[in-house]
Each structure stands twice: as structure tokens, then as C-alpha cells.
Amino acid sequence: MRFSKMHGAGNDFVVLDLRDGRAPPTPADCARIADRHFGIGCDQLLTIEPARSAQAVASYRIWNADGSVAGQCGNGARCVAAWLVRAGAAPAQGAFSIDSPTGAHAVQRNADGDFVIDMGAPRFAPAEIPLLGFVQAQDAYPLELDGRVLAIGAVSMGNPHALLEVDAVETADVAGLGAALQRHPAFPQSANVGFAQVLAPDRIRLRVYERGAGETLACGSGACAAVAVLDRRGQVHAADGVTVELPGGVLRIQRRADGHLWMAGPAAFVFEGEWS
């Protein structure tokens, strides 16, 4: 089984070409491939498959490092776009579309070569996240955790996200609070948990503890979620664009006139190999 190893701002992937109709690896095989000691090693495994919509050039699916299925992956989407361009399945210049597990996404190229992905509109309704115990969307939700009440932002970007604002991301208890919030009964499907430090209306720092993978060097949907929550609160100006500094690199998020968030960032090839 041939594979490509790729990363987007340090969020790394094993990419498999299944456009010929072959079945994807089982969840157990996905976990073995993702193992950094006994496998190839990655945060997520991506399978590139035939398009599901008429306008798309291909589709992709996502498995987390533990073998569980993910609904969206922004850094993965950029890597899929770059892989398709290299394979000659998508144009090197101009726009095209790819299908994720949650729908079709338009892809563009920046002048510097970075891929720009339409990540869709954030969904704040608690039922759509899903977030239990609340009916109306709020800027912050009070959740009790280990005897204290935390103010949590929540949104869906095709997968559930929780956001905590912190004074400094360097000292945030990402692993402890991230795992605890993922287990919280308010999130029946768990959540990717972001820790955001607002530097200015056009710049934030962010760390993300992902479902099925733990803390990653970057999370594209998490960057979109953080900007969406903070923009709703008026703490950043997403219409003007927000730079998101993650441990593995920088992403740029902008809200366009239709309310969709567009994400720009790098997509890099690391090596090619064969899994047997």
C-alpha cells in the first residue's frame, strides 16, 4: 500500500490513494499506521477517494490516530488539495472543489502558493455542535468541571469544538483540561478543545487538544473555531482576517461576505513509502 507522508503547519498525515475503489484500512489498521513507534506515525490518516458531488475532483475521509472517524480536518484538506495537484487530478492554478465528510469545499491558491480552503460557516446552535444542556447559542457557556465553573465557547466546524480563553497558551493545562472537557457529558460526541490567547484583533495564539489524537502542532478546524467564537464576542475582526499562531506554524482565517470562513496555510510533502 503506497502512501504519502504530509503535514500542514506540523499537523501530520498519512495519505492513501483509494480512487480505484479499494476499501480503506480498518480502524485497527489506522491506529497501527498512526503509531509513532511501531507504524508510520501521524495525527490523522487521510484517504483520497472518488468525488461524491458533481463539481468536486475527489473526496477524502479522515481517521484519527486512535482509529476513530473525524468529520473535518482543515490542515488535511489543504494537504489533500496539494496531493491532487501533484497527481494531476486538480489544476495547479485556478479554483477547484473537494468533498469532505461534511460537504463540498472550494479550493484556491494564494500568490505565495499556499492553499486556501472554504471551511464553511460556523454553526453555533447547541443542537448542531452538539452541546447538551443549552437551547440558545451563547458567547460563553458555564460548565462545571472538577468543582469549578469554566466559561466555554462552543461551535461546530463540521466537528465539535470547545474553546477556553487563557492568559498565556504556554502555561495552559492543555492535556489536563482538554481531556477532562472531552469527557464532559455536555459534549456527547466529545470535542476538540482549543486554548486561545488574544494578542490583538487580528492575531491570536492557539493550542488544540484534538479528539482521538491529543495535542497536535496545528488544527485547521480548531483555528477556524477559535476565530469564530472570538469574532462572535467582538474580540477579533474576522472580516479583516486573523493570523493564528500555532506551535507548528501560522494559519490565516478570514470571514467572507457569506459568513464562510476561509483558511490559508501551508501543505508540505515529507516522504513517500509503502506499508506492508
The tens digit of pLDDT for each residue in 139-194 reads 999 999 989 999 999 999 999 999 999 999 999 999 999 999 999 999 999 999 99
Q: Over 90: is that where the pLDDT of 276 sits?
A: no
C-alpha cell at 1: 500500500
Kindly name the residue from 42, 73, 79, 224 that is annotated as catalytic.
Answer: 73
**Binding residue ranges:** 11, 44, 64, 74-75, 159, 192, 210-211, 220-221
pLDDT of amino acid 248: 97
In Å, how far from its chain's centre is CA 12?
A: 12
DSSP states of 210-224? ETTTEEES--HHHHH
C-alpha cell at 53: 458531488
Indicate the DSSP class of residue 127: G
The pTM score is 0.95
The tens digit of pLDDT for each residue in 67-86 reads 999 999 999 999 999 999 99
**Binding residue ranges for substrate:** 11, 44, 64, 74-75, 159, 192, 210-211, 220-221
User: How much is the mean pLDDT over the chain?
Assistant: 97
The answer to whether the Cα torsion of 142, 144, 149, 151 is positive or negative is negative
The tens digit of pLDDT for each residue in 241-256 reads 999 999 999 999 999 9
Active site residue 30: no
pLDDT of amino acid 28: 96
Residue 31 host element (H or E): helix 27-34
The full set of domains in the chain, from first to last, is 2-120+265-271 (3.10.310.10), 126-263 (3.10.310.10)
Contact 274, 16 (CB under 8 A): no
Kindly name the residue from 30, 42, 79, 219 that is annotated as catalytic.
Answer: 219
Active site residue 224: no
